[in-house]
Chains A and B, each alone.
Chain A
Amino acid sequence: MASLNTAPNLSGHDDIYERLIGLHDGLSEGESLQAWSRLVLLLINHIGDRDVIDEAIRLAAPR
């Protein structure tokens, strides 16, 4: 069973961060929520592993 990787696994953090902010340029809050949602759906499909996705959902939930 795969587990969620929470160690650093990227480079170019500032570039990616800028792209993420740029995703919301000119959007209303409602549109932003939809954009975030589409992004999550695309990524979880790419990940494809239910255990990993379930673990990420658990960690993302407010504590």
Chain B
Amino acid sequence: MANVEGIPIYREIGSVPAAGMSRDKARVTVVGAGPVGLAMALDLGRRGHPVTVLTRLDFIAHCSKAICFSKRSLDILDRLGVGDRAIAKGVTWNLGKVFWGAGDQPVYQFDMLPVKDQKRPGFVNIQQYYIEEYLLDALLDLPDVQIRWGHQVTAVTPQDGGVQLRVSAADGDYSLTTEWVVACDGARSTVRDCMGLDFEGRVFEDNFLIADIRMTGHDMPPERWFWFDPPFNPGKSALMHRQPDDVWRLDFQLGWDIDRDAATRPEKVEPFVRAMLGEGVEFQREWYSVYTFQCRRMARFVHGRVIFAGDSAHLVSPFGARGCNGGFADIDNLGWKLDLVLRGQADARLIDSYDHEAIVTADENILNSSRSTDFLTPKSTASQALRDAVLQLAQDHAFARPFVNSGRLSTPVSYPDSPLSTPDSDDWDGGVAPGAPVLDAPHDGGWLLDALGQGFVLLTCEWSGAVPDGVQVIAVSGLAADRLGLSSGNAALIRPDHYVAARWRRPGRDAIQSALLRAQGGLHG
């Protein structure tokens, strides 16, 4: 029996007994075992750290959650060793098409992998519970990572050099003293509530129905299809995505004044499905749900030794797939920083840079998802008229098409003003600037991002010289060097999360050393 009722179960695990944990200690405690919490634990565990994961549930949930995983998330999952499983199971796609009214030709389409010759595609669709399962399987290989299923945090008390957590389990309560807490406990974060922290932003007045259905033999390419004002949902929008296992996600805008409880009843949902797919379509219900959404974030993500990541820190509308992908960006940014701090090789200033960079990412995600929402659900007559004018003109005129906004899908965010970046002192024409992520390319019979690993790397082009301890040198040529803008004698210092920290036309040991120190939070210019 699951310990929380009303949530469908993908995999039952069972509660971990609390006996013997009365005055427990941990270096890092991750709260929450969704994809973000599990990926955080896996990142730190693979770097050799003991991690304790606390999760309220004692099972993996089976319901409609994240399905669209971006190229950047796949790159992160690759680094964590589970990318291949996601690709093997998932439905790969790159193209998005937008239809208007009854038209069968798209008024707009976009390619999520405009730069080809990269290892991973623009997106894969895969049910969140598969991703959780892959992360969990990888965690089981790490003896120093403990997952405590059915353990709920009930109090959070910051203290000198750490945090004391009060934890409640089925067979009793206990205290856990930990050096760091990473709160990945979702939109209704208990840790955030326990600390009385703020969560500010816009709440949007609209309801959307998700119908995840199973059907075989439906002929549609693996693409994201979006409709404005289709005949099967007049005046509103709809979205269709293919998932593994012959499962399809259908998403219908419902409007604001509806009976939310009634909206998920089969007799209410099925007419939408039949109107979209045809009266005779045969399908089974996977899960029906209605959601509303908010675009909001905490004012700060780092509160002493408590760090927030994923939905606990920021929420977006789903149009753009920026929720779970935004959470993976957080843990990717935080993992190597916490690693260096735990090893005593960096101090809290490096953690402060997470606050800066993760907030830049969250703000870009919130900005894009708010704008998409404003296009999808215009708030005034003038805004509605503008939206409709764009769609009308987009049919015949190329200039109007880039205005069509059915969701700007998640891509990695750059940090132009990161305190960790060393600003360019040479002239560069293109390439990848400090604060931006390395672009993948074929490299040495494989892929550049795979070669980068999870430490600091100096990418060089026909250069040799001394480098600081702990920096791996990788020589690049051809397309990989071109994409980085590196020509003969140049080099770029790459962070463990594959962002460029600095680059030089004529690198020297001292310059590399001071850029490395700055990228580790030790030098603020």
Q: Are A17 and B399 in contact (CB under 8 A)?
A: no
Please report the C-alpha to C-alpha distance between residue A6 and residue B399 in the assembled complex, in whole angstroms: 5
Query: With a CB–CB cut-off of 8 A, which chain A residues contact B399?
Result: 5-10
Would you mind naming 15 contact pairs between A and B with Cβ atoms under 8 Å apart?
A6-B397, A6-B399, A8-B398, A8-B399, A8-B401, A8-B402, A13-B402, A17-B386, A18-B374, A21-B380, A21-B383, A24-B380, A24-B382, A32-B382, A36-B382
Q: Are A17 and B382 in contact (CB under 8 A)?
A: no
Q: Are A7 and B398 in contact (CB under 8 A)?
A: yes
Q: Are B405 and A17 in contact (CB under 8 A)?
A: yes
Taking the nearest CB of chain A, how far is it from the CB of B275, in angstroms? 27
* Contact pick for B380, options A8, A18, A32, CB 8 Å: A32
Please report the C-alpha to C-alpha distance between residue A17 and residue B32 in the assembled complex, in whole angstroms: 38
Query: With a CB–CB cut-off of 8 A, which chain B residues contact A7?
Result: 398-399
Please report the C-alpha to C-alpha distance between residue A23 and residue B382 in the assembled complex, in whole angstroms: 9
Question: CB of B403 within 8 A of chain A?
Answer: yes
Question: CB of B381 within 8 A of chain A?
Answer: yes
Please report the C-alpha to C-alpha distance between residue A37 and residue B471 in the assembled complex, in whole angstroms: 61
Please report the C-alpha to C-alpha distance between residue A44 and residue B416 in the assembled complex, in whole angstroms: 37
Please report the C-alpha to C-alpha distance between residue A59 and residue B394 in the assembled complex, in whole angstroms: 12
Please report the C-alpha to C-alpha distance between residue A6 and residue B405 in the assembled complex, in whole angstroms: 19
Query: With a CB–CB cut-off of 8 A, which chain B residues contact A40?
Result: none
Q: Are B382 and A29 in contact (CB under 8 A)?
A: yes
Main secondary structure of the interface of A (DSSP, over half): helix
Closest 4 CB pairs of A and B: A32-B382, A24-B382, A6-B397, A13-B402
Question: CB of B368 within 8 A of chain A?
Answer: yes
Question: CB of B356 within 8 A of chain A?
Answer: no
* Contact pick for A24, options B375, B383, B393, B405, CB 8 Å: B383
Query: With a CB–CB cut-off of 8 A, which chain A residues contact B397?
Result: 6, 59
Taking the nearest CB of chain B, how far is it from the CB of A21, in angstroms? 5
Taking the nearest CB of chain B, how far is it from the CB of A14, in angstroms? 5
Please report the C-alpha to C-alpha distance between residue A20 and residue B379 in the assembled complex, in whole angstroms: 13
Q: Are A18 and B382 in contact (CB under 8 A)?
A: no
Q: Are B381 and A18 in contact (CB under 8 A)?
A: no
* Contact pick for A6, options B379, B383, B398, B403, CB 8 Å: B398
Please report the C-alpha to C-alpha distance between residue A5 and residue B484 in the assembled complex, in whole angstroms: 35
Please report the C-alpha to C-alpha distance between residue A13 and residue B401 in the assembled complex, in whole angstroms: 10
Taking the nearest CB of chain B, how far is it from the CB of A47, in angstroms? 14
Question: CB of B371 within 8 A of chain A?
Answer: yes
Tell me whether A18 and B398 are in contact in the complex, defined as CB-CB below 8 angstroms, given that A29-B381, A29-B382, A32-B380 are known contacts: no
The A-contacting residues of B in range 262-320, CB under 8 angstroms, are: none
In the complex, what residue of chain B is closest to A6 when comparing beta carbons? Answer: B397
Please report the C-alpha to C-alpha distance between residue A14 and residue B368 in the assembled complex, in whole angstroms: 8
Q: Are B398 and A14 in contact (CB under 8 A)?
A: no
The A-contacting residues of B in range 350-375, CB under 8 angstroms, are: 368, 371, 374-375
Question: CB of B408 within 8 A of chain A?
Answer: yes
For A13, A23, A59, the residue with the greatest tally of chain B CB atoms inside 10 Å of its CB is A13
Type the 1/0 row for A7-47, where 1 means its CB is closer than 8 Å to any CB of B: 11110011001101101100101001001100000000000
Please report the C-alpha to C-alpha distance between residue A22 and residue B368 in the assembled complex, in whole angstroms: 16
Query: With a CB–CB cut-off of 8 A, which chain B residues contact A13?
Result: 402-403
The A-contacting residues of B in range 377-396, CB under 8 angstroms, are: 378-383, 386, 390, 393
Please report the C-alpha to C-alpha distance between residue A14 and residue B405 in the assembled complex, in whole angstroms: 8
Please report the C-alpha to C-alpha distance between residue A21 and residue B379 in the assembled complex, in whole angstroms: 9
Q: Are B403 and A17 in contact (CB under 8 A)?
A: yes
Q: Are B382 and A27 in contact (CB under 8 A)?
A: yes
In the complex, what residue of chain A is closest to B397 when comparing beta carbons? Answer: A6
Please report the C-alpha to C-alpha distance between residue A35 and residue B371 in the assembled complex, in whole angstroms: 21
